[in-house]
Amino acid sequence: EAGVTQSPRYAVLQEGQAVSFWCDPISGHDTLYWYQQPRDQGPQLLVYFRDEAVIDNSQLPSDRFSAVRPKGTNSTLKIQSAKQGDTATYLCASSLNRGYEQYFGPGTRLTVL
C-alpha cells in the first residue's frame, strides 16, 4: 500500500514569493492534516479536513496561507507571500477517520531567504 506522498521535497524562495505544496493521502483515508515543523521543534497542526470539508483551520495564518481539498482526496497548501519566518518543513498526514492513527508523508522543506 502506498504511503502519503508529497511534492516538492524542497523549495527555496525569496520573501514575497508564492509557493504551493501538494499532498496525496493514503487511499481510503478520509481525514487529511497539514503540519508545520520549524527546525528543532515538534510538528504543529495548521489545518485538517474530513473529505473536502475544513474541520479546523484555527492555526492557519489565514492572511497568507490557504488550503483546499476539493474532491476529498489530494490537497494543496499555498503560501501567498512567503516570509522568512515561514521557513520550516511542511508535513502532510492522513488517517482512516478522525481519531485514528495518523501517517505522515516525507514533508516539503521550505527555505525563505
Partner 1 sequence: GDQVKQSPSALSLQEGTNSALRCNFSIATTTVQWFLQNPRGSLMNLFYLVPGTKENGRLKSTFNSKESYSTLHIRDAQLEDSGTYFCAAEPSSSFSKLVFGQGTSLSVVP
Interface positions, 76-105, toward partner 1 (CB under 8 A) = 89, 91, 95, 98-99, 101-104
Work out how close the CB of 59 gets to partner 1 at its nearest, in angstroms, rounded to a whole number: 9
Collapsing DSSP to helix, strand or coil, 86 comes out as helix
Smallest gap from Cβ 16 to partner 1, in A, equals: 26
Q: From CA 32, how far away is CA 55, in angstroms rounded?
A: 10
Residues 102 and 83: their CA atoms lie apart, in Å, by 29
Q: Shortest Cβ distance from residue 15 to partner 1 (Å)?
A: 23
107 touches partner 1 (CB under 8 A): yes
111 binds partner 1 (CB under 8 A): no
In whole angstroms, how large is the CA radius of gyration of the chain?
13
Assess 41 for contact with partner 1 (CB under 8 A).
yes
Among 21, 34, 48, 65, binds partner 1 (CB under 8 A): 48
Looking at 1-113, which runs of residues are DSSP E strands? Answer: 5-7, 10-13, 19-24, 31-37, 44-50, 53-56, 65-68, 75-79, 88-95, 103-104, 108-112
**Residues at the interface with partner 1 (CB under 8 A):** 31, 33, 40-45, 48, 55-56, 89, 91, 95, 98-99, 101-104, 106-107, 109
